[in-house]
A and B are shown apart, each in its own frame.
Chain A
Amino acid sequence: MKSLDEIKVIRDEMAAELLTRDESTEANGTKYRKHVLICGGTGCTSSGSAAIEKALAEELAKNNLTDVQIVKTGCFGLCALGPIMIVYPEGAFYSMVKSEDIAEIVSTHLVEGGQPVARLLYQETVTEDGIKSLNDTAFYSKQHRVALRNCGAINPECIDEYIGKDGYQALAKVLKEMTPEDVIQTILDSGLRGRGGGGFPTGMKWKLARNIVPDADQKYVCCNADEGDPGAFMDRSVLEGDPHVVLEAMAIAGYAIGATQGYIYVRAEYPIAVDRLRIAIAQAREYGVLGKNIFGTGFDFDIDLRLGAGAFVCGEETALMTSIEGNRGEPRPRPPFPAEKGLFGKPTILNNVETYANIPQIILNGAEWFAGMGTEKSKGTKVFALGGKINNTGLVEVPMGTTLRTVVEEIGGGIPNGKKFKAAQTGGPSGGCIAADNIDIPIDYDNLIAIGSMMGSGGLIVMDEDNCMVDIAKFFLEFTVDESCGKCTPCRIGTKRMYEMLDKITKGQATLEDIDKLEELCYYIKANSLCGLGQTAPNPVLSTLKNFREEYIAHVVDKKCPAGVCKDLLQYSIDAEKCIGCGMCARQCPASAISKTDYVAPGHKLPSLAIDTDKCVKCGACMPTCKFKAISKG
């Protein structure tokens, strides 16, 4: 249990030490000469950062370098370059680090007076006259980190480092200086909207929960950390990189609405996030920032973790609560809304991780500060998980209103292999595809809805000309069919029938009437489903139908897949002009669909080969074997 004054002492001490990690400031009298930050997020852990950390610790011990601190952080965002390591105070950014290189980095760089190993640095940070700050690279320079501000900057398993970044000061301010109504007003004024899906104003949610049932004996604050959109990992990164911010924000929310108990519902598929949350909760209880009588103000608040067990629908608020209650995660009809009758029948608010991650900053910096960022109706920043056909796969945070072009071309570094941008998919299975002609629209809640997609939680998957939009729509529908809870008719049966129709289209068995029927079914499911999952399930189909209808028609009328993805519609053929009859392709063919002539009269050229389309299984194995690019598909 620590008093507020003790916390402030920790803050001042840690803040001084953390100056080492700020390239723009000279740190003096710090405990460590160098801070080596190694990313311990899921991406980098998968690519082996734990081994690197171990190797580094051994190497430092070997060289007796006790003044170098290893800090395992959360995600830096540039997952494509993992494992990532950054050395302060100079800010040297090592990417795709290998254990074998550690000895060299230690002996050349980390020793007293050492210099960075230029060949191992992220090349974009290497300039003629040394290294440039990561913040000046294309990936980071357009970003504005609010929710992610501590991710990759602090050790998430150390509450002191969080406190050193003004952690729990917002909670202190709220408890000591503000009434619950003040807090709610501040959040309302900030214009913060829910980052998890629909974009409902957060302050409004809190206000309802505070007032709608005046005599409630218990209320709950829940955190939705059941990030289930395939390709989205914003929330995971916050939990892994800065778990305390969520705890602090939930305590603030508890104070605002009058709740004393919180639940974080987190995906069990996020073991690192779960571990760090457990550690953070234990530390917070130890410091007394969770528990009874926080900061001596009489305010009690505690948080329990609940693990999801693999059901996408549990991201829907009522399903999440049903799941915490120990049931099949099936949504309930609304009204009554959770603010009135939520978890265990009590008034409840549910916000997602990223939403909470903004709260302490809003309290400390004021509503105007936050409202100063973004567009008229969408304030602040938004985190996106960039994935798919893009060079800089990873996590980015940009002000609302940034254009898709900026995100894809500048921050994301464009499309690999010189391919053309075709579409970006936002909002996961609930969202839609943004076509190239909308690439300059500022991204915010309302614009995305206007063009048939939605913000969702922030997955942003880039597609190039090799992606078939019908296939993508089918992929999302397959996901939805799999994840539908099965409770309501439109979603349980309707999405299955949609999937079957799409399947027919990709197999060239559909008619134009089927497309109309599919579209009608989409609108029916949107309007009639019980919960958000069903109501948004048709979006991937509707948005591709709107933007890429000709591609659907090509499948139906021409029986062709323009992107060359849908196997049943593909034909492989060999250009007789280009073929020299070498037979490399025939050797690779698993179906013996290409036969090579072995004998040829002296002086004659080998005859060109052909593919037996009856035998061809369309695996594509032949194509890369041909040095003369004689094989084509279409």
Chain B
Amino acid sequence: MADINVKINGIAVSVPKGSTILEAAHAAGVEIPTLCYMKEINEIGACRICMVEANEGRGFRLVAACVYPVTEGMEVLTNSPKVLESRKKTVELILSTHDKKCLSCVRSGNCELQKLANDLGVENSDTFAGEMVEHEVDDSAVHMYRDNNKCILCRRCVAVCGKTQGVGVIGANERGFVTTIASAFDMGLGETSCVACGQCIAVCPVGALSEKEYIDDVFAAIADPSKRVIVQTAPAVRAALGEEFGYEIGTNVEGKMAASLRRLGFDDVFDTDWAADLTIMEEATEFMDRFKNGGKLPLITSCSPGWVKYCEHYFPEMTENLSSCKSPHQMLGAIAKTYYAEKIGVKAEDIVVVSVMPCTAKKFEIGRNDQNAAGVPDVDYVLTTRELARMIRRAGLNFRAMPDEDFDNPLGLSAGAGDIFGATGGVMEAALRTAACWLTGEDKVIEFTEVRGTDGIKRKTYNVAGTEIKVAVASGLANAKELLKSVQNGEEVHFIEIMGCPGGCVNGGGQPQQPASVRNFADLRELRAKALYDEDAAKELRLSHQNADVQKLYEEFLGEPNSHKAHELLHTTYVKRSIN
């Protein structure tokens, strides 16, 4: 496509046709601040922070850089006095309706509004003080708070909930000054068919949306001498935690993370990746069984609790297609409180399992039925990646100075197949690797690269040992919906992987919040996934069924995959829910 020539603050730059002023300025090394804008997700030009002066031959006027396309010969001023004054006023107006208790806000130091106020030189946050609309904090959901007193109505949450996730349980209600982001009839989020994915929290620029925090509870458990406190970390956590400590996006900080956890006082530092390998044993077996014996197909993965809840609300007729496997961290919790408890001679009641997850739906998942193999909950607390970072800061650990350490055994060893669970397509590839070995009877690592990548829906037919297996992978629930509708309309698929969050767990709702200025020019999904695929590629052990500790678990405790005991401990049930 032909390039367009524009001048940004007098500097000539050529950008592809169709570029916005924001993109052209980025190309010229100028970052125009934004609040509401999220590329392809929320292009509504509403907040007016990104105003610049543009001249298309009829004189300079203020336009919204985020959505205004460049035209040939356009001149743009991104920091004229008029522009800066406009932006400052916009921030001052937003501040006049914003709960400014910044010191006690979870986003303090990481708040896009706070940064703007600071960058733009707002000296008086009460310039436009006036009436404010008061809201009750919505704490009805298991996994999060919604505090509309801090909401700035950028609608990023509305866009991800409705467009990206196809859920749409929050939106703008009323109009004008009293416009409020809420649910129908002001229902609490917990009363709605919210799937707890937490994508809204991940994109919120301020502290209006936040996970329910369990840091104090975990510190208390660690301090309790009668408790054996086990921590496990999901694959995606190591791919993003570093961002909280100044590492580049996509840096794998597995070693420093394990070291930090140990220094926080956890008794055992286990790896959910180990349980991912275990999941593959169960799920691949389940698939082969259904595939060979005329069971319900397509089999759909059940690792993502946001997806599972979505399925229960929106596709209740398809819950039988869900794999009965618990998600990996639940499996680890179950094994920790049975097999491992036996090994170390501690009662299940005295073990506290803490899962560090890139996910907020996991906070919901631990309270589900049939997630208590030992008669007590498999997992006691779920912390998000963000909460772990806060915990590390609170404990005063110098993360960057940590040595690289390993996980503890026997629930710490993992194959590369388990590591890639954190990226969309990873579960599918891990399962296919093992299934292919089992079908061919030959242990050979095959890379199923077609199911990798950030496309919303990926489809592929594989010929494995003479058997045609049709697989599909979807991430992001709007994509899942599209795929499932197609399946309901007759598309033949045997095995489907669905992850609730776009790009999979690496882009989960519990991951570090990156400001719009980063999100709009970097693909978090891709960068973080790369860390996991690199880890897999670098490993000797890349097949789940070759994980020696998993094999030992079957030998010593479970018997066969899908055995009666395995079913009791590692599988679960689903319910049908309504849409609200």
A419 is an interface residue with CB less than 8 A from chain B: no
Known: A335-B68, A489-B94, A528-B48. A484 touches B175 (CB 8 A): yes
Number of B residues with CB within 8 Å of any CB on chain A = 34
Per-residue A-contact encoding for B519-556, CB less than 8 Å = 1, 0 else: 00000000000000000000000000000000000000
The answer to whether A527 and B176 touch across the interface, beta carbons within 8 angstroms, is no
In the assembled complex, the CB of A534 is this many whole angstroms from the nearest CB of chain B, namely: 9
Q: CB within 8 Å of B: which of A519-566?
A: 521, 524, 527-530
Known: A492-B153, A497-B128, A528-B90. A311 touches B175 (CB 8 A): yes
In the assembled complex, the CB of B167 is this many whole angstroms from the nearest CB of chain A, namely: 17
Q: CB within 8 Å of A: which of B169-206?
A: 172, 174-179
A-B contact count (CB 8 A): 93
User: In the assembly, what is the distance between CA of A489 and CA of B50, in Å?
Assistant: 12
B67, B89, B97 interface centre (most CB from chain A within 10 Å): B89
The answer to whether B47 and A496 touch across the interface, beta carbons within 8 angstroms, is no
The answer to whether B93 and A494 touch across the interface, beta carbons within 8 angstroms, is yes
The answer to whether B177 and A528 touch across the interface, beta carbons within 8 angstroms, is no
Which residues of B lie under 8 Å from residue A489 when comparing CB positions? 46-49, 90, 93-94, 153
The answer to whether A333 and B45 touch across the interface, beta carbons within 8 angstroms, is yes
Chain B, Cβ-Cβ closest to A483: B176
The answer to whether B68 and A486 touch across the interface, beta carbons within 8 angstroms, is no
In the assembled complex, the CB of A522 is this many whole angstroms from the nearest CB of chain B, namely: 11
In the assembled complex, the CB of B174 is this many whole angstroms from the nearest CB of chain A, namely: 7
Q: CB within 8 Å of A: which of B92-126?
A: 93-94, 96-97
Number of A residues with CB within 8 Å of any CB on chain B = 28
Per-residue B-contact encoding for A475-510, CB less than 8 Å = 1, 0 else: 000000111111111101111110010000000000
B366 is an interface residue with CB less than 8 A from chain A: no
B130 is an interface residue with CB less than 8 A from chain A: yes
Which residues of B lie under 8 Å from residue A492 when comparing CB positions? 153, 176-177, 179
The answer to whether B68 and A484 touch across the interface, beta carbons within 8 angstroms, is no
A176 is an interface residue with CB less than 8 A from chain B: no
B28 is an interface residue with CB less than 8 A from chain A: no
Which residues of A lie under 8 Å from residue B251 when comparing CB positions? none
A328 is an interface residue with CB less than 8 A from chain B: yes
The answer to whether B44 and A521 touch across the interface, beta carbons within 8 angstroms, is no
B131 is an interface residue with CB less than 8 A from chain A: yes
Q: CB within 8 Å of A: which of B72-98?
A: 82, 85-86, 89-90, 93-94, 96-97
Which residues of A lie under 8 Å from residue B62 when comparing CB positions? 527-528
In the assembled complex, the CB of B90 is this many whole angstroms from the nearest CB of chain A, namely: 5
User: In the assembly, what is the distance between CA of A127 and CA of B93, in Å?
Assistant: 63
Chain B, Cβ-Cβ closest to A526: B62
Per-residue A-contact encoding for B407-427, CB less than 8 Å = 1, 0 else: 000000000000000000000
The answer to whether A490 and B48 touch across the interface, beta carbons within 8 angstroms, is yes
The answer to whether A335 and B93 touch across the interface, beta carbons within 8 angstroms, is no
Known: A493-B94, A494-B93. A486 touches B44 (CB 8 A): no
B239 is an interface residue with CB less than 8 A from chain A: no
Known: A486-B153, A496-B131. A521 touches B89 (CB 8 A): yes
Which residues of B lie under 8 Å from residue A333 when comparing CB positions? 43-45, 64, 67-68
The answer to whether A493 and B175 touch across the interface, beta carbons within 8 angstroms, is no
Which residues of A lie under 8 Å from residue B69 when comparing CB positions? 335
Known: A481-B176, A484-B176, A493-B96. A528 touches B86 (CB 8 A): yes
B444 is an interface residue with CB less than 8 A from chain A: no
Chain A, Cβ-Cβ closest to B155: A487
In the assembled complex, the CB of A433 is this many whole angstroms from the nearest CB of chain B, namely: 24
The answer to whether B176 and A486 touch across the interface, beta carbons within 8 angstroms, is yes
In the assembled complex, the CB of A312 is this many whole angstroms from the nearest CB of chain B, namely: 10
Which residues of B lie under 8 Å from residue A488 when comparing CB positions? 45-48
The answer to whether A481 and B89 touch across the interface, beta carbons within 8 angstroms, is no
Which residues of B lie under 8 Å from residue A483 when comparing CB positions? 176
The answer to whether B172 and A528 touch across the interface, beta carbons within 8 angstroms, is no
Known: A333-B68, A486-B175, A530-B46. A493 touches B128 (CB 8 A): yes
Which residues of A lie under 8 Å from residue B47 when comparing CB positions? 488-489
Known: A335-B69, A497-B130. A486 touches B97 (CB 8 A): no
Which residues of A lie under 8 Å from residue B43 when comparing CB positions? 333
Which residues of A lie under 8 Å from residue B49 when comparing CB positions? 489
User: In the assembly, what is the distance between CA of A60 and CA of B327, in Å?
Assistant: 86
Partner of A497, one of B48, B85, B93, B174: B93
Partner of A485, one of B48, B86, B128, B175: B175
The answer to whether A481 and B48 touch across the interface, beta carbons within 8 angstroms, is no
Chain A, Cβ-Cβ closest to B67: A333
Q: CB within 8 Å of B: which of A462-483?
A: 481-483
B97, B131, B177 interface centre (most CB from chain A within 10 Å): B177
B390 is an interface residue with CB less than 8 A from chain A: no
B51 is an interface residue with CB less than 8 A from chain A: yes
Chain A, Cβ-Cβ closest to B47: A489
The answer to whether A527 and B61 touch across the interface, beta carbons within 8 angstroms, is yes
Chain B, Cβ-Cβ closest to A534: B48
In the assembled complex, the CB of A489 is this many whole angstroms from the nearest CB of chain B, namely: 5
The answer to whether B93 and A482 touch across the interface, beta carbons within 8 angstroms, is no
In the assembled complex, the CB of B199 is this many whole angstroms from the nearest CB of chain A, namely: 21
Which residues of B lie under 8 Å from residue A486 when comparing CB positions? 153, 172, 174-179
User: In the assembly, what is the distance between CA of A482 and CA of B176, in Å?
Assistant: 6
User: In the assembly, what is the distance between CA of A153 and CA of B429, in Å?
Assistant: 77
Which residues of B lie under 8 Å from residue A484 when comparing CB positions? 175-177
User: In the assembly, what is the distance between CA of A490 and CA of B67, in Å?
Assistant: 17
Q: Give the top 7 A-B pairs by smallest Cβ distance, nearest first.
A: A486-B179, A333-B45, A484-B176, A493-B93, A496-B177, A333-B67, A500-B130
Could you list some 29 contacts between A and B, CB below 8 A?
Answer: A332-B44, A333-B44, A333-B67, A333-B68, A484-B176, A485-B176, A486-B172, A486-B175, A486-B176, A488-B45, A488-B46, A489-B90, A489-B93, A489-B153, A490-B93, A492-B153, A493-B177, A495-B177, A496-B130, A496-B177, A497-B93, A500-B130, A521-B89, A521-B128, A527-B62, A528-B89, A529-B48, A530-B45, A530-B46
Instruction: Give the interface of B toward A (CB within 8 A).
Output: 43-49, 51, 61-62, 64, 67-69, 82, 85-86, 89-90, 93-94, 96-97, 128, 130-131, 153, 172, 174-179
5 more A-B contacts (CB under 8 A) besides A332-B45, A333-B43, A528-B90? A333-B44, A487-B172, A490-B90, A493-B96, A521-B89
